[in-house]
Structure 1
Amino acid sequence: MIFGSVKMAMADQTNVKLLGMWASPFVRRVQWALSLKGVISYDYVEEDILNKSSLLLELNPVHQKVPVLIHDGKVICESLVILEYMDETWKGIPLLPHDPHGRAMARFWARFSDEKLEPNAWTAMCSEGEEKEGALKRAIEAASKIEEQLIKGRRFFGGDDIGYLDVAMGWVACWLPVWEEVGAMSIVDPARHPRITSWAGDFLSHPLIRTNLPPKDEMVDYFHGKRKRIMAH
């Protein structure tokens, strides 16, 4: 389904620009979605988050963060909002489910991942003692809730094809193992979360995902540096 529809999207991908940062999971989910949508020709601008460009500050004055998508002169910020905009703009390859309840549930669990799992995993990586223990506990609990959403026999959250929720949670497959290594901790354990473990393997082996992954060794070095700077304060 994905590869057969690529040409449908390619005709409508002009004037696309993405402001991003290579180590951001939120930027990468937009890049994955662009690939899945067949939008393979666009301008990418790498941002220095410690020295933000005037363009980034102008286009996203509220949060001053990446990603920022510009399409035909229209500016869209926040990665999950961008995913929904893309799904409505390049309709040939839908990411969200067709039925309203399915779409609502996909949005709910994407937000849950961003609001419950991601911040607690980050805090656990960048802290020690009771703070680390509390964040780690909350992260494991969140991962267990997500585990329940993966139906046995399905490769992905929505079925046999990658969809919105897989892209939104792709950081769990790629970033979380790095954070676990840097923080000397375990959140997603194969014995405790076998479905997430299986899903992560399928997600990372997908042809359009495995060719668009950041180098793990560079990720480990980058987040070791981030952890060191945060812990020094």
Structure 2
Amino acid sequence: MGEEELKVLGAWGSPFSRRVEIALELKGVPFQYIEENVLDEKLKSPLLLKCNPVHRKVPVLLHDGKPVVESLIILEYIDETWKNNPILPDDPHQRAQARFWAHFIDHKCMPPVWTALLGSVEEREKAVEEVRECLKTLEGVLDGNRFFGGETIGLVDISANFIAYWLRAIQEVSGLDFMNEDQLPLLTKWSEEFVSCNVVKGHLPPRDKLITFMKNWLSGHGWTD
């Protein structure tokens, strides 16, 4: 495609906006990144509120001035727009499976993580087990492959960036044990290889900054940047 204006409205600590960056990097598509302050409703930019008036959140992909919102929808849009290095398989059934597992990560794996951190004692214990069960399921889906997409990074891998990077930081800060090499050797190996990929590691937040951010939040100081 010719010269295009491509912007990503994101937040440094958001795994959702980082997904978009990783996908564009994988495609070799240049873009302008615009950092948004999503921690304070009053500081959200007019551009963000105009592009995503419903959810008022990142990420937003602006392609020639036309906004696309919601990270999984953006990932599919990117794959349909730039055909090289596909992140979804050609086979319709395999495509449907990839969509299912990406949705599973967002709606089954991630919510109980926050409950495990913020819920009552009883809720936390149940949530930790729920997270572990979800990760065990993903271990089975990986089935010994290098990536969920086989030998190359695909939609599910990019969607699971939270598990590969953010979840391990959360474990360090909270002391909770969601994922370890003894119980989930395949998923642990996958996470280490995924975050080490050149197209990925340049689009992950600095670990020290993320750890500090999480410590502040869990200690009751709020979402201080």
- Taking structure 1 as the reference length, what is the TM-score of the superposition? 0.89
**Per the alignment, do residues 13 and 27 of structure 1 end up closer, same or farther by CA in structure 2, a change over 3 Å counting?**
farther
Give the counterpart of 2:56 among 64, 79, 82. 64
- Contact map agreement 1:122 1:179 (CA 8 A) in 2: no
The residue that corresponds to 2:10 in the other structure is 20
User: Alpha-carbon deviation of 1:18?
Assistant: 0.7
Spell out, residue by residue over 1:8-60, the C-alpha distance to the aligned partner (whole angstroms, 9 max, x if none).
Answer: xxx54620011000000001111100100101x32211111112112111110
- Contact map agreement 1:126 1:183 (CA 8 A) in 2: no
The residue that corresponds to 1:38 in the other structure is 28
One-letter amino acid of the counterpart of residue 26, structure 2: L
Spell out, residue by residue over 1:94-136, the C-alpha distance to the aligned partner (whole angstroms, 9 max, x if none).
Answer: 1101100111000000110111111111221234511211211
The residue that corresponds to 2:37 in the other structure is 48
Whole-angstrom distance in 1 between the partners of 2:168 and 2:111? 15
The residue that corresponds to 2:126 in the other structure is 134
Residues 54-203 of structure 1 correspond to what in structure 2 (within 5 A)? 54-152=46-144, 154-203=145-194
- Contact map agreement 1:124 1:183 (CA 8 A) in 2: no
Q: Percent identity?
A: 45
The residue that corresponds to 1:223 in the other structure is 214
One-letter amino acid of the counterpart of residue 196, structure 1: L
- Contact map agreement 1:83 1:164 (CA 8 A) in 2: yes
Query: What is the number of equivalent residue pairs in this alignment?
Result: 219
Whole-angstrom distance in 2 between the partners of 1:17 and 1:197? 33
**Per the alignment, do residues 106 and 230 of structure 1 end up closer, same or farther by CA in structure 2, a change over 3 Å counting?**
farther
Structure 1 unpaired stretches of 5+: 1-10
The secondary structure found in structure 1 opposite 2:62 is strand
User: Alpha-carbon deviation of 1:211?
Assistant: 2.5
**Per the alignment, do residues 126 and 165 of structure 1 end up closer, same or farther by CA in structure 2, a change over 3 Å counting?**
same
**Per the alignment, do residues 196 and 208 of structure 1 end up closer, same or farther by CA in structure 2, a change over 3 Å counting?**
same
User: Alpha-carbon deviation of 1:179?
Assistant: 1.1
Say which is worse superposed, 162-171 or 120-129, in terms of deviation: 120-129
User: Alpha-carbon deviation of 1:205?
Assistant: 1.4
User: Alpha-carbon deviation of 1:138?
Assistant: 0.9
Spell out, residue by residue over 1:53-85, the C-alpha distance to the aligned partner (whole angstroms, 9 max, x if none).
Answer: 121111101111100000012110000000000
Task: Say whether residues 1:213 and 2:190 are aligned partners.
Answer: no
Whole-angstrom distance in 1 between the partners of 2:172 and 2:73? 30
Structure 2 unpaired stretches of 5+: none
